[in-house]
A = this chain, B = another copy of it.
Amino acid sequence: MLSEELVKDITVKNDKKIVLLVMDGVGGLPGKKGLTELETARTPNMDKLASSSALGLNHPISPGITPGSGPAHLSLFGYDPIKHQIGRGILEALGIGLELTPDDLPARANFATKDKNNVITDRRAGRIPTEKNIELCKKLSEKIKTLDGIEVIIRSGKEHRFVVVFRGKGLYGPLHDADPQKEGLKIKYAQAFNPDGEKSARVVNTFIDQVNEVLKNDHPANTCLMRGIDKVPPVPSMNELFKITPAAIATYPMYKGLSRLVGMKVLDAGDTIQTEINALKKNWSKFDFFYFHIKKTDSYGEDGNFENKVKIIEETDKIIPDILGLKPDVLVITGDHSTPSVLASHSWHPNPFLLKSKYVRIGESKRFTEKECLKGSLGHFYSIDAMSLMLSNALKMTKFGA
Please give the residue numbers on chain A whose beta carbons come within 8 Å of chain B beta carbons, in ascending order. 1-3, 6, 10, 29-30, 36, 57, 61-72, 81-82, 85-86, 88, 91-92, 228, 340, 342-343, 346-349, 359-364, 370-371, 374-375, 377-382, 385-392, 397-402
The answer to whether B29 and A359 touch across the interface, beta carbons within 8 angstroms, is yes
The answer to whether A402 and B64 touch across the interface, beta carbons within 8 angstroms, is no
Which residue from B72, B388, B400 sits with its C-beta under 8 Å from A68?
B400
A346 CB contacts on chain B under 8 angstroms: 399
Question: A295 to B124, alpha carbons, bound, how many Å?
Answer: 54
Which residue from B66, B360, B371, B380 sits with its C-beta under 8 Å from A379?
B380
A390 CB contacts on chain B under 8 angstroms: 64
The answer to whether B30 and A402 touch across the interface, beta carbons within 8 angstroms, is no
The answer to whether A65 and B392 touch across the interface, beta carbons within 8 angstroms, is yes
- Secondary structure class of chain A's binding surface, majority of residues: loop
The answer to whether B69 and A361 touch across the interface, beta carbons within 8 angstroms, is no
In the A-B complex, the 5 residue pairs with the smallest Cβ-Cβ separation, listed nearest first, are A64-B388, A379-B380, A68-B401, A64-B389, A71-B401
The answer to whether A385 and B62 touch across the interface, beta carbons within 8 angstroms, is yes
A349 CB contacts on chain B under 8 angstroms: 361
Which residue from B30, B61, B387 sits with its C-beta under 8 Å from A362?
B30
The answer to whether A385 and B64 touch across the interface, beta carbons within 8 angstroms, is yes
Knowing A61-B400, A71-B401, A401-B81 are in contact, say whether A348-B392 is a contact too (CB < 8 A): yes
The answer to whether B6 and A66 touch across the interface, beta carbons within 8 angstroms, is no
CB distance from A367 to the nearest CB of B (A): 14
Question: A1 to B371, alpha carbons, bound, how many Å?
Answer: 24
A340 CB contacts on chain B under 8 angstroms: 359
The answer to whether B63 and A389 touch across the interface, beta carbons within 8 angstroms, is yes
15 of the cross-chain contacts (CB-CB < 8 Å) are A2-B65, A2-B82, A29-B361, A63-B381, A63-B382, A64-B387, A64-B397, A65-B397, A65-B400, A68-B400, A70-B402, A85-B401, A228-B402, A349-B361, A379-B380
CB distance from A36 to the nearest CB of B (A): 8
Question: A72 to B401, alpha carbons, bound, how many Å?
Answer: 9
The answer to whether B343 and A359 touch across the interface, beta carbons within 8 angstroms, is yes
Question: A65 to B64, alpha carbons, bound, how many Å?
Answer: 23
Closest to A254 in B: B402
A6 CB contacts on chain B under 8 angstroms: 82
Which residue from B347, B360, B398, B401 sits with its C-beta under 8 Å from A359?
B347
The answer to whether A57 and B2 touch across the interface, beta carbons within 8 angstroms, is no
Closest to A389 in B: B64
Closest to A370 in B: B361
CB distance from A389 to the nearest CB of B (A): 4
A379 CB contacts on chain B under 8 angstroms: 57, 374, 379-380
Q: A2-B61, A6-B82, A29-B359 are in contact. List 10 more A-B contacts (CB 8 A).
A: A2-B65, A36-B361, A61-B400, A63-B385, A70-B402, A71-B400, A348-B397, A363-B371, A363-B374, A378-B380
A386 CB contacts on chain B under 8 angstroms: 64
A361 CB contacts on chain B under 8 angstroms: 29-30, 36, 349, 370-371
The answer to whether A348 and B388 touch across the interface, beta carbons within 8 angstroms, is yes
The answer to whether B399 and A68 touch across the interface, beta carbons within 8 angstroms, is yes
The answer to whether A66 and B398 touch across the interface, beta carbons within 8 angstroms, is yes
